[in-house]
């Protein structure tokens, strides 16, 4: 039951990304994704390419004289489906940018629906794509494990009125048989008795993969450099000279071991995966709640900013109103003074009569009193040196808010620091590691930094396909937390070792991105230094 459940859950892996149905005659694109052969042909025709030369796929051996029925009836060849007719119909599409007499067509580009990339098929188009026989076998096993309500497959050699349901299929004869017909066609003691029998199917496939360029040549090698299967003739080509080529059995076993190890690791850590799923679901819930809180905080910050602006506007309005009142009072005082000069007409007449006095002592006495009492000198000075006692323009009360507007327009959430840039000129390694770095100019400030380092050891590991590589096996990262400056010193190191270092900054928004990793090699211990004497 568990196996059937797993088979049912993998159904989505067996669907063609173009027609979203079970794949039929899948081919492998250069991007390693699989699509139905007819779906790929339809896509190419819709893009304006000529109808491709699809390989024939007979459903019974009746088309061959060597597999003719002993009951005397040659079965008619299977009718091509409407979909295949539409794909193979000549003149259905036109090749973009190709003239009628062009001898070297441009390579075809196929839009892969899985990776959304334009993959190059080559000049021969779909002919250069290998069939995914493994996927076909998985689909057949899936169809027989999980009931899909498919139509029963009938024997291809029973007479029409009494046709029986097929129970076996022959991979060599490429046909389906009932029990009686299978025994009749594969008698004991003949070569046909050694044919491989499989489950009934309407989609026979070749027993082995053969080279697309060299017919009947089996693919016996794998080029790790090109990541392609090779036949013995392809292996001798100059294009693969110097490449890492391994036997197909070695590459197959290495890849199987690698995938088995990875699958076993995943299966052995199902509890960990479930815990991680629970943690992710909890993180999604907290993320939604935190987003609501962040939205509320944003609204609160904007409201506080608006309240502060309103308060500041009130204070500036009061200052403007006070200046208006003071200036108005000063100007009104000047107006009253000027109007007083116009209203004292009796004083002007009295002064004119006073000037008619001929007695000099009497005139001096009366003129001095009049002069001091009415302030004629001051009135004359005011008339001669008239100026406004207050500025009516209010030009000093114009407010320049360009800086504040720029600050408001640049308002954004707090950003974490960008990835620091390590100064390789000042970063050294001896018995200690001296690491220096700086932040980019457009980076947000950092409150402190975290310096991480690890020691790498050279180990030999066999990769799939027989590849032998010597990567640096990583050890756990060690950290220097909350480094205040832009430099750090790391001690207690292993001599003659390679260390990898990286830095990241932190502020209120959290940690930023890591810097590029730098590799430093500590010198060997003094006892391990060997000098060569001449």
Q: Is the pLDDT of residue 472 over 60?
A: no
What band does 371 get if pLDDT is binned at 50, 70 and 90? low
Residues 385, 425, single domain; the answer is: no
Residues 440, 369, single domain; the answer is: no
Residues 452, 325, single domain; the answer is: no
Residues 388, 510, single domain; the answer is: no
Residue 506 belongs to a domain: yes
Residues 449, 479, single domain; the answer is: yes
Q: How many CA atoms lie within 13 A of 289 on its CB side?
A: 6
Residues 447, 354, single domain; the answer is: no
Closest by Cα among 52, 25, 57 to 130? 25
Closest by Cα among 158, 162, 163, 161 to 181? 158
* Residues 420 and 513: beta-carbon distance below 8 Å: no
Q: Is the pLDDT of residue 464 over 70?
A: no
Structurally, how many domains does the chain consist of? 2
Q: Tokens 């944003």 map to which residue? A: 298
Burial class (CB in 10 A: 0-12, 13-18, 19+), 114: middle
Listed residues 408, 432, 465: the one ending a domain: 408
Q: What per-residue confidence (pLDDT) applies to 345? A: 59
Residues 357, 404, single domain; the answer is: yes
Q: How many CA atoms lie within 13 A of 121 on its CB side?
A: 25
Residues 307, 336, single domain; the answer is: yes
Q: Is the pLDDT of residue 436 over 90?
A: yes
d(CA 77, CA 175): 12
Residues 375, 349, single domain; the answer is: yes
Average pLDDT over all residues of the chain: 77
Q: What per-residue confidence (pLDDT) applies to 80? A: 40
What is the separation of C-alpha 421 from the centre of its chain, rounded to a whole number of angstroms? 23
* Domain containing residue 494: CATH number: 2.60.40.10
Q: What percent of the chain has pLDDT over 70?
A: 75
Listed residues 375, 408, 441: the one ending a domain: 408
Residue 198 belongs to a domain: no
pTM above 0.75, yes or no: no
> Please, what sign has the CA dihedral across residues 407, 408, 412, 413?
positive
Residue 101 belongs to a domain: no
d(CA 139, CA 38): 17
Least confident of 160-169, 354-363, 405-414: 160-169
303-338 pLDDT tens trace = 999 999 999 899 999 988 998 899 899 889 888 877
Q: Tokens 């025994």 map to which residue? A: 183
Residues 278, 403, single domain; the answer is: yes
Closest by Cα among 42, 44, 48, 53 to 93? 48
d(CA 310, CA 300): 15
What is the domain extent for residue 361? 273-408
9-12, long-range: CB within 8 Å, 24+ apart, which pairs? 10/142, 11/142, 11/146
Instruction: Supply 114's token pair.
Output: 């899985």
Residue 232 belongs to a domain: no
Q: Is the pLDDT of residue 419 over 90?
A: yes
Neighbour-count burial for 312-335, b at 16+ CB within 10 Å, e otherwise:
eeeeeeeeeeeeeeebeeeeeeee
Least confident of 288-297, 330-339, 394-403, 522-531: 522-531
Question: What is the mean pLDDT of the segment spanning 217-234?
Answer: 85
Q: What per-residue confidence (pLDDT) applies to 215? A: 73
Question: What is the mean pLDDT of the segment spanning 32-37?
Answer: 87
Q: Is the pLDDT of residue 459 over 70?
A: no
Residue 123 belongs to a domain: no
Q: How far from 188 is each of 129, 167, 194, 474, CA to CA, in Å? A: 39, 19, 9, 61
Q: Is 111 helix (H, G, I), strand (E, B) or coil?
A: strand
d(CA 222, CA 230): 6
Residue 221 belongs to a domain: no
Residues 376, 428, single domain; the answer is: no
Residue 48 belongs to a domain: no
Q: Is the pLDDT of residue 61 over 50?
A: no
- Interhelix angle 376-384/270-343, rounded to 10 degrees, is 130
What band does 133 get if pLDDT is binned at 50, 70 and 90? confident
Q: How far from 288 is each of 284, 285, 294, 297, CA to CA, in Å? A: 6, 5, 10, 14
d(CA 246, CA 241): 13
Residues 390, 427, single domain; the answer is: no
Going by C-beta distance under 8 Å and a sequence separation of 6 or more, which residues neighbour residue 455? 475, 493, 494, 497, 498, 499
Q: What per-residue confidence (pLDDT) applies to 75? A: 38
Residue 50 belongs to a domain: no
Question: What is the mean pLDDT of the segment spanning 224-237?
Answer: 84
């Amino acid at each position: 039951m568990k196996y059937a459940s797993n088979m049912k859950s993998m159904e989505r892996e067996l669907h063609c990304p173009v027609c979203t149905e079970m794949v039929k005659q899948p081919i492998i694109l250069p991007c390693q994704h699989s699509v139905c052969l007819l779906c790929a042909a339809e896509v190419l025709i819709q893009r304006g390419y000529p109808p491709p030369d699809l390989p024939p796929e007979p459903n019974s051996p009746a088309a061959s004289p060597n597999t003719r029925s002993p009951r005397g009836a040659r079965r008619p060849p299977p009718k091509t489906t409407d979909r295949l007719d539409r794909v193979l119909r000549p003149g259905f599409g036109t090749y973009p940018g190709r003239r009628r007499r062009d001898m070297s067509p441009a390579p075809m580009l196929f839009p892969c629906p899985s990776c959304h990339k334009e993959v190059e098929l080559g000049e021969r188009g779909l002919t250069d794509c290998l069939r995914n026989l493994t996927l076909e076998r998985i689909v057949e096993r899936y169809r027989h494990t999980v009931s899909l309500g498919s139509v029963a497959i009938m024997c291809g050699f029973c007479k029409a009125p009494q046709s029986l349901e097929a129970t076996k299929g022959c991979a060599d004869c490429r046909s389906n048989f009932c029990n009686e017909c299978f025994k009749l066609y594969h008698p004991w003691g003949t070569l046909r008795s050694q044919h491989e029998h499989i489950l009934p199917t309407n989609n026979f496939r070749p027993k082995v993969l053969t080279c697309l360029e060299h017919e009947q040549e089996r693919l016996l090698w794998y080029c790790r450099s090109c990541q392609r299967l090779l036949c013995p003739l392809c292996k001798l080509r100059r294009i693969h000279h110097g490449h890492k080529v391994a036997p197909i059995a070695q590459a197959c076993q290495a890849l199987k071991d690698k995938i088995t190890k990875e699958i076993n690791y995943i299966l052995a850590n199902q509890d960990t995966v479930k815990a991680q799923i629970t943690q992710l679901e909890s993180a999604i819930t907290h993320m939604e709640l935190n987003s609501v809180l962040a939205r509320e905080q944003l609204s609160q910050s904007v409201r506080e900013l608006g309240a502060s602006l309103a308060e500041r506007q009130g204070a500036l309005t009061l200052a403007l109103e006070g200046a208006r009142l003071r200036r108005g009072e000063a100007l009104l005082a000047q107006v009253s003074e000027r109007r007083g000069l116009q209203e004292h007409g009796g004083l002007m007449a009295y002064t004119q009569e006073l000037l008619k006095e001929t007695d000099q002592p009497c005139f001096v006495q009366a003129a001095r009193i009049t002069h001091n009492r009415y302030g004629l000198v001051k009135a004359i000075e005011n008339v001669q040196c008239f100026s406004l006692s207050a500025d009516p323009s209010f030009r000093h009360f114009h407010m320049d808010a360009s800086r504040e507007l720029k600050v408001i327009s640049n308002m954004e959430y707090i950003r974490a620091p960008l990835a620091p840039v390590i100064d390789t000129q000042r970063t050294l390694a001896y018995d200690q590691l001296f690491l220096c770095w700086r932040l980019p100019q457009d980076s947000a400030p950092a409150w402190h930094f975290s310096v991480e380092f690890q020691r790498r050891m050279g180990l030999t590991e066999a990769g799939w396909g027989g590849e032998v590589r010597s990567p640096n096996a990583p050890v756990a990262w060690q950290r220097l937390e909350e480094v205040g400056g832009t430099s750090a010193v790391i001690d207690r190191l292993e001599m003659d070792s390679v260390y990898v270092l990286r830095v990241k900054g932190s502020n209120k928004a959290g940690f930023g991105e890591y810097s590029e990793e730098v590799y430093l090699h500590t010198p060997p211990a003094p006892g391990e230094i060997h000098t060569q004497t001449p």
